[in-house]
């Protein structure tokens, strides 16, 4: 968890996300019929804010609500699910190739996954064996994102194409990692604004894996639903804190440089891609909730009510790190989480965070197994995640209230062009 969360992206101007009403669709109306053809309503959708809509529904049909009609684009320079607005439901799943499966089987699997992702993100049934779970819904801003773990390159004989950026992350003192729930040959991120649409995609991806790959681990997450607040705002995490104030925005001049591998970078097949660090961070909520409001705010360095820095102003006011109180101490404590994670306190290190909260029941002592599925995106994790986490490791006040329980690092190639599948430049290069 850092002060640079992704919800700033999801609430950026030009990306309105409102939920709406609407009656259920009549029996027999397919997802494609509900969507109609492009053109009529001009909803603002997708990472780039492109105007996409659906035509007036046929006589007797009820048009989709704005939430159901939200659509992200599969094809593009970058994969979906990185700069798209944060969705309310998510699944993370990692696969290992089975014994004997290699480059050929991996290529066939990525073709299947890409074909399935393209159809489901358009609100259409899966190419084969559709389960009808999402039959009545629109795309609901569904995104599927695919990445490769370090071991993938050994399994496929592509060691020479493995990026140096996939070198193992260093150990951190806050790590209590379960190796069985980390890493993996292949990684898939699924997000949607409808839980059934998200599960439908998860099931399709698992079925597509067939005999080529088996699930290594899988995690489920959630966020606030679009339209749940009176106006778009930065989300809160399970500690009740506004989480996402300083996330880099696509409108920033150096956004692409920080987040995406440039054309001409190494390796060439990663052009337009990004690196995802995935961490399951359990929040020790019983301990956290024993703190007073003032103590919680000093741990974070921001007011709980509105996310404003303790130095004053509003949520977006620049934090004054030199401001002192009547007793001469810093208003924002030296070990406050928000102070430590500022890019200007870390040599400019920055990353786009796009997390989901999770709750997986309770431990034997009654403590909730809940926290954050932390996902951050950067052009190079050694310049993004690692320096920030090292500094947090040395003295973050928040560290005694969280536990890093699983970890993964994945190379996420650039988006697939029309007629191409994700990872084709690597697997057929």
User: DSSP letters along 281-346, please?
Assistant: EEE-HHHHTTS-HHHHHHHHTB-TTT--BTTSS-TTSPP-TT-B-TTSSBSS-TT-HHHHT-GGGT
Structure tokens at 61: 């049909």
Work out the end-to-end distance of the chain between its first and last CA atoms, rounded to an integer number of angstroms: 37
Q: Which runs of E-coded beta strand occur in 54-142?
A: 89-97
Task: Return the biggest CA–CA distance within the chain.
Answer: 71
How many Å apart are CA 360 and CA 255, to the nearest integer?
34
Angle, in degrees to the nearest 10, between helices 103-121 and 195-209? 160
Q: Write the pLDDT tens digit of every residue in 24-49.
A: 444 444 444 444 433 333 333 333 33
Q: Nearest to residue 136, comparing CAs of 232, 22, 298? A: 22
Q: Write the pLDDT tens digit of every residue in 218-264.
A: 999 999 999 899 988 888 999 999 998 888 999 999 999 999 999 99
Choice among 243, 320, 344, 393 that is catalytic: 243
Q: Write the pLDDT tens digit of every residue in 394-425.
A: 889 999 999 999 999 999 999 999 999 999 99
Answer yes or no: 243 catalytic.
yes
User: Higher pLDDT residue, 111 or 55?
Assistant: 111
Cβ burial of 353 (10 Å; 0-12, 13-18, 19+) is buried
Residues 6+ apart with CB under 8 A from 63: 22, 34, 36, 41, 54, 56, 57, 69
Beta strands at 274-283 and 143-148: parallel, antiparallel or unpaired: unpaired
pTM of the model: 0.86
Cβ burial of 181 (10 Å; 0-12, 13-18, 19+) is middle
Q: What residues does each domain of the chain span? A: 77-415+421-425
Give residue 379's pLDDT band: very low, low, confident or very high (50, 70, 90): very high
């Amino acid at each position: 968890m850092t002060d640079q969360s992704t919800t700033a992206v999801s609430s950026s101007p030009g990306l309105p996300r409102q939920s709406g009403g609407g009656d259920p669709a009549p029996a027999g109306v397919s997802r494609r019929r509900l969507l109609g053809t492009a053109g009529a309503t001009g909803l603002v959708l997708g990472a780039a804010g492109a105007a996409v809509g659906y035509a007036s529904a046929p006589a007797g049909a009820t048009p989709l609500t704005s939430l159901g009609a939200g659509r992200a684009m599969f094809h593009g320079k970058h994969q979906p699910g990185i700069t798209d607005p944060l969705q309310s439901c998510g699944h993370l799943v990692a696969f290992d190739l089975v014994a004997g499966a290699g480059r050929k089987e991996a290529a066939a699997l990525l073709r299947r996954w890409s074909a399935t992702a393209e159809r489901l993100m358009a609100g259409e049934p899966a190419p084969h064996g559709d389960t009808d779970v999402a039959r009545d819904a629109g795309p609901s801003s569904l995104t599927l994102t695919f990445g490769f773990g370090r071991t993938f390159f050994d399994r496929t004989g592509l060691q020479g194409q493995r990026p140096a950026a996939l070198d193992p992350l260093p150990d951190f003192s806050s790590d209590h990692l379960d190796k069985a729930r980390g890493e993996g040959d292949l990684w898939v991120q699924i997000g949607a604004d409808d839980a059934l649409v998200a599960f439908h995609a998860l099931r399709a991806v698992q079925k597509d894996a067939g005999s080529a790959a088996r699930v290594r681990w899988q995690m489920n997450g959630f966020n606030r639903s679009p339209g749940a607040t009176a106006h778009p705002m930065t989300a809160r995490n399970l500690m009740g804190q506004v989480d996402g104030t300083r996330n880099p925005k696509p409108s920033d001049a150096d956004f692409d440089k920080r987040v995406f591998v440039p054309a001409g970078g190494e390796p060439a097949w990663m052009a337009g891609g990004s690196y995802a660090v995935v961490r399951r961070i359990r929040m020790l909520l019983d301990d956290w909730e024993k703190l007073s409001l003032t103590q919680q705010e000093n741990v974070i360095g921001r007011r709980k009510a509105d996310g404003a820095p303790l130095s004053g102003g509003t949520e977006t006011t620049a934090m004054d790190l030199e401001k002192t109180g009547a007793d001469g101490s810093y208003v924002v404590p030296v070990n406050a989480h928000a102070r430590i994670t500022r890019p200007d306190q870390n040599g400019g290190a920055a990353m786009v965070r796009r997390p989901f909260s999770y709750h997986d029941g309770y431990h034997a002592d009654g403590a909730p197994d809940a926290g954050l599925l932390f996902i951050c995106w950067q052009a190079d994790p050694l310049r993004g995640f690692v320096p920030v986490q090292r500094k947090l490791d040395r003295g973050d006040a928040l560290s005694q209230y969280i536990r890093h329980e699983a970890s993964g690092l994945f190379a996420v190639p650039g988006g697939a062009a029309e007629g191409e599948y994700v990872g084709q430049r690597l697997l057929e290069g």
